[in-house]
Amino acid sequence: MAHVTADTSRCIGAGRCVSIAPEIFDQTDSGSVMVIHASPERDEVDLVFEAVDLCPARALSVSDD
């Protein structure tokens, strides 16, 4: 199972992750990334990897549990 984490200190608030996978990511009032579903379903994993790849600040990561 995949586990999603975000380094909020690196986040620049671009919002690409939210656009790609709104079921997994959201943004705080200040614009920083917030992981709302750290263990995505099997059918969401491809979207999570896309969000990780497209994050301009490299603030997102995925690991296997």
The residue ranges of every structural domain in the chain are 2-64
The confidence score (pLDDT) of residue 13 equals 97
pLDDT digit string, tens, across residues 2-27: 999 999 999 999 999 999 999 999 99
pLDDT digit string, tens, across residues 25-62: 999 999 999 999 999 999 999 999 999 999 999 999 99
Q: Taking the CB of residue 17, how many other CB atoms lie within 10 A of it? A: 27
Pairing of strands 2-6, 25-27: unpaired
The CATH number of 2-64 is 3.30.70.20
Query: Is 27:15 a contact under the CB 8 Å cutoff?
Result: yes
The confidence score (pLDDT) of residue 46 equals 96
Query: Is 48:21 a contact under the CB 8 Å cutoff?
Result: yes
